[in-house]
Structure formats: C-alpha cells, structure tokens
Structure 1
Amino acid sequence: MSTKQEVIELIKNLPDDVTIDDIMEGLYKKAQIEEAIYEIDQGKGSSHEKVREHFNKWLK
C-alpha cells in the first residue's frame, strides 16, 4: 500500500469531528512508529533488558 493510501485509510477511520491537529498527531505517531521499526530492523534497537536497566537507573 502506498503512503498516500495509508494516509487516506487513517483519515477514513477517524471520527467525523476530528481536528487537523488530531490528524497531524496521528500522522506523526505513525511516522515515529515506522522509523522505530526501521531502526530495529537495522539492528539499532535496544534489548528489553538494556532498556529496563536504563529506566531503573533513571527512576532511582
């Protein structure tokens, strides 16, 4: 599916009273998720254990 088609589907599934800000937020979140998936596929992600260690240090 093309990016254009994906955006159209995203908008079709939103309620009729959606705002432009809601649409922009949805597109931004979708772009961030796609970027994260790409980075994970490229081996750039962190393991669950590494993230847990980071948060444990951060939350102390």
Structure 2
Amino acid sequence: MNDSTVALPWLVIRQDDNGNRYRVGRYATRAEAQKIVDGFEDRGHKQLYWVERVGPNAAK
C-alpha cells in the first residue's frame, strides 16, 4: 500500500451504458466523495455513480 491509498481511500466510480466502469476520482472522506456523486446526479448525468472505499478497511 502506498501513501496515496491511505490518504485518499474513497473512490467515485462511474458506470456507463455499456457496463464499463471508470474511476472518477479519489477523496479523503466519504462525505467528500458523496458530494461529487451528488453533484453529477443533480446535473442530470445519465450514468450510474457510486462511492467505494479501498484499502485495509474497505468494507466500512
């Protein structure tokens, strides 16, 4: 594990209409990542967005 994984354990993931998944960004807190997801959804983006945690405590 490197320093960026520890400092930025929250990912925003986007899935397009074909089922392809892309990492949008990494964030320090779940709240920060969720704010990004909410912003995309508020603007009417059609893709699916969600927050995931990476690292040793990924299930949290």
Report the TM range for the smaller structure's normalisation: 0.3 to 0.5
TM-score normalised according to structure 2 size: 0.34
TM-score normalised according to structure 1 size: 0.34
Looking at secondary structure, tell me which structure has more strand per residue.
Answer: 2
**Bigger relative contact order, structure 1 or 2, given CA contacts below 8 A and separation 6+?**
2
